[in-house]
Amino acid sequence: MIEEKVSSRPPIDEVIEQYRAELPWGDLRVTAEYAYAVAVRLREVGRADEAEHYARQCLQLMEALPANSLDDVVSQRQSVGGVPLPDHFHDGVVRSRLANLLGLI
């Protein structure tokens, strides 16, 4: 039997703090990545109202970013806050992956 290394995920509150810490720096993409991670993590633990807030923040940030080329949307990191990021991270992916939180389904 092969043992798999399971990476631990940081506590949700820590990921929320990382999101808040990114806000003043103005890097929309990094802030959106953290908002996405927080929304996913909160959804997993049943905190849907809070997750909806972060999903909307993520979408708003992603809509403000360019998405005209592959370079604009390719993810530079594999995961944030213990959440795998999509290979191509743009507003359409956010709408699709967080549709239930955004009231799209």
Distances (CA, A) of 21 to 27, 34, 36, 78, 84: 11, 10, 15, 20, 20
Measured distance CA(97)–CA(35) in Å, rounded: 13
Confidence (pTM): 0.91
What are the tokens at 49? 């109202």
Closest CA to 9 of 48, 35, 40: 40
The distance of Cα 3 from the centroid of its chain, to the nearest Å, equals 29
Q: Is the separation of the CB atoms in 18 and 34 below 8 Å?
A: yes
* Residue with token string 């996913």: 40
Q: Please give the radius of gyration of the chain, using alpha carbons only, rounded to the nearest integer.
A: 14
pLDDT tens per residue, the chain (105 residues)? 444 444 689 999 999 999 999 999 989 999 999 999 999 999 999 999 999 999 999 999 999 999 999 999 999 999 999 999 999 999 999 999 999 999 998
Amino acid symbol at 3:
E
